Chain A
Amino acid sequence: MADEPLVLGIETSCDETGVGIVRGTTLLADAVASSVDEHARFGGVVPEVASRAHLEAMVPTIERALKEAGVSARDLDGVAVTAGPGLAGALLVGVSAAKAYAYALGKPLYGVNHLASHICVDQLEHGPLPEPTMALLVSGGHSSLLLSADITSDVRPLGATIDDAAGEAFDKIARVLNLGFPGGPVIDRYAREGDPEAIAFPRGLTGPRDPAYDFSFSGLKTAVARWIEAKRAAGEEVPVRDVSASFQEAVVDVLTRKAVRACKDEGVDHLMIGGGVAANSRLRALAQERCEAAGIRLRMPRPKLCTDNGAMVAALGAEMVARNRAASDWDLSADSSLPVTDPHVPGAAHTHDHVHETARENLYT
């Protein structure tokens, strides 16, 4: 459908330089350059290393995306970019590129929310999002339960992690087990050969008086680390496969249980799961099982669309164009703490001026 908006999206909130191109809900290109290998020896993403890599990778990644999509930049209907939340300095590289690109091409600019983009990407996989949609976003940076009534204007946070993000817990346990960084894929791999019921690790915030939709992974992380240390102190071998499987089970059990409960409580019959941890094979399997049992339709994009990428930003940008949402101004800033309730950052003519002073502080420190 040629009359659907053709949008290029740029994502630089963490360590992936992503440039995607979509036409409406059709994915045309998803080019990603990752600096993850440069961070591996630090055991986590180093902001300055990520920012340097974004600057180097941006132009080649845009060129690759245009080639892959087989479209000309002149034909774009808009340029979308992650305005936040994320690493301040990293976001700023993408926002600078998107502004310059949109301005030079004479196209409207859409600064959009990273979390809303993670939800919207599913349109590229399974068609338009049902309204409302329940979304569980889990990655190294976020663990949130969100209710989206309109992905361009109405995203409500139901719950979030009160300490570590789910992906962070995977990274930390992988480090304790000396499995390297990032932890998610390697723990998933070991867990496949382990027994998820071998060790009964705690399920955080699942008591009757605990907040129904919030998460906590810090206690679990400590419990797993203690268990491993006790084994080592006793001179016994650590059963890496069983520890991985049991730890992973504790994480995905809580995630899926709370997500399904939120769907039931809110009367929503669609659950979308996104973010890097959505690539976890056990999370995918258990979510499928529990959604089927509860009569909920599960929507999970393929793993490559779950991790950070530019296509998700383009998908949300295309929706902004399709729904006539206001474009951003040329003074759009990167906002490291952009609230999830702002799916995009419309220009000043369309909204009262709200400046996130704390975010501005963060930007240059």
Chain B
Amino acid sequence: MLLLALDTATPAVTVALHDGDDVIASSSQVDARRHGELLLPAVDRVLAEAGLRLDAVTGIVAGIGPGPYTGLRVGLMTADTFGLALGVPVHGVCTLDGLAYAADLDGPFVVATDARRKEVYWARYADSRTRLTEPAVDRPADIADQVAGLPAVGAGALLYPDTFPQAREPEHVSAAALARLAVERLKAGEELPAPRPLYLRRPDAQVPKNYKVVTPK
């Protein structure tokens, strides 16, 4: 088994290779505006570090968000196309689950990432492997009751200390954690979700009102 994992749903552009036993190479760069430029060179670097070529990969794992769409699509489009070119399966993993896995907590906690527009993408967890709620997008103040008293990880938690007073690292997801989680689930015979984006918000689109009348009244 050789899995290539990648995630572009948070400001991190993160790539990792997992050989079935453990992560053998990884790269994470934080630059929310350059996912498109950074991802392919990162894949190339990680493969070179492991001394492998992409055609040795037996499966792709991609973070499906939720996360800002433009960046999120870079990772998913890349994963999809690798899958097509190599003829290997492409698995999705919820990006919040990857963050939860990396948090390594036994008790209940919250994962929250930055959804911009003063909102967070978030979900509640019973422990690092067990998500309790569907990922959602909300204003921090609106979910204060639901997350009260719980530790919280992710940039969304660190950004809003009023709502998440017990915020802590990790700030962004890592492909290494995503890969470890995916391997654990695949080995347990679990089905992973399709590599389709979790958008959560409808597209911004204003239906134009009746055409603008140009004749002065």
Contacts and interface: CB of A to CB of B under 8 A. Distances in A.
Interface residues of B, number: 42
A320 B63 CA distance: 35
A331 B31 CA distance: 14
Contacts of B43: 103
Given A100-B77, A330-B40, A48 B68 contact: no
B215 A96 contact: no
Interface stretch (B14-22, B80-88, B126-134, B175-183): B80-88
Contact of A96 (B68, B77, B199): B77
A222 B214 CA distance: 7
B211 A73 contact: no
Contact of B44 (A55, A103, A175, A222): A103
Interface range on chain A (Cβ under 8 Å from partner):
35 or more
A186 interface: no
Contacts of B73: 51, 55, 89, 92-93, 96
A325 interface: no
B76 interface: yes
Contacts of A99: 40, 78
A176 B85 CA distance: 47
Interface in B40-91: 40-41, 43-44, 54-55, 68-71, 73-74, 76-86
Nearest to A98: B81
Contacts of B84: 59, 62-63, 101
B118 interface: no
B189 interface: no
B140 to A, nearest CB: 22
Contacts of A175: 208, 211
Interface of A (DSSP majority class):
helix
A52 B203 contact: yes
A59 B90 CA distance: 12
Nearest to A331: B37
Interface of B (DSSP majority class):
helix
Interface in B161-178: none
Nearest to A334: B36
Interface in B111-164: none
A360 B38 CA distance: 13
A69 interface: no
B188 interface: no
A143 to B, nearest CB: 21
B39 interface: yes
A225 interface: yes
A52 B71 CA distance: 12
A44 B86 CA distance: 37
B74 A92 contact: yes
A259 interface: no
B1 interface: no
Contact of B68 (A58, A73, A95, A364): A364
Contacts of A48: 69, 203-205
Contacts of A105: 85
A229 B76 contact: no
B81 A104 contact: yes
Nearest to A361: B33
Contacts of A92: 36, 70, 73-74
Contacts of A89: 69-70, 73
A233 B213 CA distance: 12
A104 B56 CA distance: 11
B207 to A, nearest CB: 6
A288 B33 CA distance: 47
Contacts of B32: 364
Given A58-B81, A99-B78, A363-B33, A42 B208 contact: yes
Interface in A220-263: 222, 225-226, 229-230, 233
A23 interface: no
A340 interface: no
Contact of A101 (B85, B199, B207): B85
Contacts of A363: 33, 36, 70
Given A55-B80, A225-B214, A225-B215, 9 more contacts: A55-B197, A59-B83, A62-B84, A63-B84, A73-B85, A100-B40, A103-B43, A226-B215, A330-B40
Interface of A: 41-44, 46, 48-49, 51-52, 55, 58-59, 62-63, 73, 88-89, 92-93, 95-97, 99-101, 103-105, 172, 175-176, 222, 225-226, 229-230, 233, 330-334, 360, 363-364
Closest 8 pairs (CB-CB, A-B):
A104-B85, A100-B81, A48-B203, A96-B77, A46-B205, A330-B40, A100-B78, A331-B37
